[in-house]
């Protein structure tokens, strides 16, 4: 029988109310808590708690506090990634953030897609869809990136935008839902 974690990693419907997944989330909460309570001088580069948690980390990354993620083990950072304060990454699926990308304060990257059937949703049934941010992307403050979205290289997501679909390279999107505008 396939575990709930295996289903999650395969992008299939799974129960997030699983003891193994809960144990992973508790480990993540401990690492995030440690990061968020470090003195600012110890966060000038990516802190040890997050560096050991994330799947991969490039050179010269910085994650401001407070920060929150659900698993951490599915987050991949390229070189020189900057994540500002109050960001949330719910990484039940792979989240790949390309080199040179900047994420504004309060932005959210969400991978969990909850079931449409209210009975299944109440039972914790969801699926995890990956999110990819290309290189040199700028995500404005308070933007929300929904499950399954890819944002192309050098694109800009305006502050407060809700990105519901893929964004081509070299594109600026704004609004809810986010739509392309002239640069």
Q: What positions carry a catalytic annotation?
A: 114
60-69 burial code (b ≥16 CB/10 A, e <16): ebbbbbebbb
CB contact set of 143 (below 8 Å; sequence gap of 6+): 104, 107, 108, 157, 158, 159, 160, 161, 162, 163
Work out the burial of residue 129: count CB atoms within 10 Å of its CB; fewer than 13 is exposed, 13-18 middle, 19 or more buried: middle
3-state class (DSSP) for residue 172:
strand
Tokens at residue 142, please? 């308070």
Distance CA(96)–CA(132), nearest Å, equals: 5
């Amino acid at each position: 029988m396939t575990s709930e974690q295996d289903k999650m990693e395969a992008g299939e419907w799974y129960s997030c109310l699983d003891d193994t997944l809960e144990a992973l989330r508790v480990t993540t909460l401990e690492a995030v808590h440690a990061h968020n309570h470090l003195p600012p001088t110890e966060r000038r580069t990516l802190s040890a708690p997050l560096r050991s948690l994330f799947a991969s980390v490039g050179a010269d990354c910085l994650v401001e506090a407070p920060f929150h993620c659900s698993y951490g083990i599915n987050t991949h950072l390229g070189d020189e990634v900057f994540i500002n304060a109050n960001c949330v990454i719910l990484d039940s699926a792979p989240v790949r953030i390309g080199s040179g990308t900047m994420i504004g304060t309060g932005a959210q990257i969400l991978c969990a897609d909850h079931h449409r059937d209210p009975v299944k949703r109440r039972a914790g049934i969801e699926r995890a869809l990956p999110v990819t941010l290309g290189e040199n992307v700028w995500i404005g403050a308070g933007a929300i990136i929904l499950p399954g979205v890819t944002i192309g290289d050098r694109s800009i997501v305006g502050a407060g935008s809700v990105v519901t679909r893929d964004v081509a390279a070299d594109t600026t999107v704004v609004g809810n839902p986010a739509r392309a505008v002239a640069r």
